Amino acid sequence: MAFRPLNWLFGLFSLDIGIDLGTANTLVNVRGKGIVINEPSWVVLDKKTRRPEKIGLQAKEMVGRTPATHIAIRPLRDGVISEYDVTKDLIGYFLSKAHQQTLVPLPRPRVVIGIPSGATEVEKNAVYDASKESGARETYLIEEPMAAALGAGMPVTEVVGSMVVDIGGGTSEVAIISMSGVVVSRSLRVAGDELDQDIITYIRNKYNLLIGERMAEQVKMTVGSSYPLPSEKTMRVRGRNLVTGLPEELEISSVEVREAVSSSVQVIIDTIKDALDEAPPEIVADLMENGICLAGGGALLLGLKERLTDELNLRVWVAEDPLTCVARGAGMVLDDLERYSKLLVDIDN
Ligand code: ADP
Ligand code: MG
């Protein structure tokens, strides 16, 4: 990235913040400092008052362990702003946390927020208003796959086709981009969470063992895959036997987990094929040259790159640090708003 002395100087006296408001993780990128916050998008609410009591990391630790008076939710799950007030609290929490980390009192921040490409007008406005109410001086929205592609280093402003597949917790986003615009896009609600559910269902059906969501996610991250592994792995899982009602531990193999997640992985692959099918031939030629970039936490699923390379007949690569692409892309927009203004989403407020 080019060094811009003026921008740098300005950065000392104002707070510019890029936010990746993910369904699973929220990242905050402060200009001049980098990613200062990376926490799960969980909120624990008091059921009666609907007020949040814990947000982020502290809230995720309580998942599956809350008493009857409380409930743990992810307001952005499925890419929908299902809980406006809670989303506002979430944004407010992260903005004030980022603000607290600055040494001198600074004016209200300028904020770039990544939103899912499938977001409706109502949802876009909700995020925009929530940011404004949380104290942002200026708010800009960018579609997550666009931010991911930028953060992954793709030439999104150039006259060349780029393709990114961002697999998060609640949604997978597929986008083909050229000249600062989206040429083809798909957003589907099959992503990391769905794979976790697949694993829960599989283990319940095969072994009558009920495991929790966090255990299922561990299984996916440790022995999950979508392509035969050079050496297959095993892992011990714990849960409750549904027949005896008692705790039980058993060993599960990567071969079984691959079978468990295979149909959801296939849905994602079919969606990518579908998007490719719609791409104009010149752009397909560009993609043959530059390949397809995988971003988001789902990009880390073992063997996904190999599986996609096989199925698509194109080079597929995983972005550097795929979990932070959107936050880094949002930061790049703040670094040069003029250059990247075309990437932003229009808001009719
Ligand atoms: P979002 O943008 O929706 O917040 P992220 O890009 O942060 O989502 O990705 C979170 C998802 O990635 C979760 O479903 C998580 O389980 C999954 N994930 C993280 N690491 C891995 C891994 N090593 N293998 C498979 N999935 C992973
Ligand atoms: Mg994301």
Q: Which amino acid is at 108?
A: R
* CB distance 296 to ligand 1 below 6 Å: yes
Q: Which residue has the tokens 């299922």?
A: 216
The answer, yes or no, to whether any atom of ligand 1 lies below 6 A from the CB of 322, is no
Cβ 202 vs Cβ 259: under 8 Å: yes
**For residue 272, which phi and psi values (nearest 5 degrees)?**
-65, -40
Residue whose Cα lies nearest atom 13 of ligand 1: it is 169
DSSP helix/strand/coil, 190: coil
Atom of ligand 1 minimally distant from the CA of 41? 4
Q: Do 41 and 90 meet the contact criterion of CB atoms below 8 Å apart?
A: yes
First to last CA, the chain: 33
**pLDDT beneath 50: ranges in the chain:** none
Q: How far is the CA of 300 from the centre of ligand 1 (A)?
A: 8
Q: What is the pLDDT of residue 56?
A: 93
- Ligand 1, atom 7, lies closest to the CA of 25
Instruction: State the CB neighbour count (10 A cutoff) for residue 325.
Output: 31
Q: Which atom of ligand 1 is nearest to the CA of 168?
A: 8
Distance CA 269, CA 85 (A): 35
CA atoms of 50 and 69, how far apart (whole Å): 10
- Please tell me the predicted confidence (pLDDT) of residue 202: 98
* % helix, strand, coil for the chain, step of 5: 45, 25, 30
Q: What does the alpha-carbon distance between residue 124 and residue 344 come to, in Å, rounded to a whole number? A: 12
- For strands 138-143 and 344-345, give the pairing: antiparallel
Ligand 1 centroid from CA 280, angstroms: 31
Ligand 1 proximity of 24 Cβ (cutoff 6 Å): yes
- Biggest CA pair distance of the chain: 68
CA angle 130, 136, 140 (to 5 degrees): 80
Give the whole-angstrom CA distance, residue 135 versus residue 154: 32
Ligand 1 atom closest to the CA of 323, numbered from 1: 6
Alpha carbons 36 and 20: distance in angstroms, whole number: 12
As a residue count, the chain comes to 349
Residue type, 306: E
Q: Which atom of ligand 1 is nearest to the CA of 322?
A: 6
What is the pLDDT, as a whole number, of residue 139?
A: 94
What is the whole-number distance in angstroms between the Cα of residue 23 and the centre of ligand 1?
10
Instruction: Report CA(208)–ligand 2 centroid distance (Å).
Output: 33
Q: Which has the closest alpha carbon to 300: 169, 145, 114?
A: 169
Nearest Cα residue to 274 out of 192, 185, 164: 185
Distance 247 CA to ligand 2 centre (A): 35
Does ligand 1 have an atom closer than 6 angstroms to the CB of 79?
Answer: no
Three-state DSSP class for 241? strand
Indicate the DSSP class of residue 244. T
Q: Residue 300's pLDDT is what? A: 98
Judged by its nearest atom, the ligand closest to the C-alpha of residue 191 is: 1
Q: Contact at 8 Å (CB) between 299 and 265?
A: no
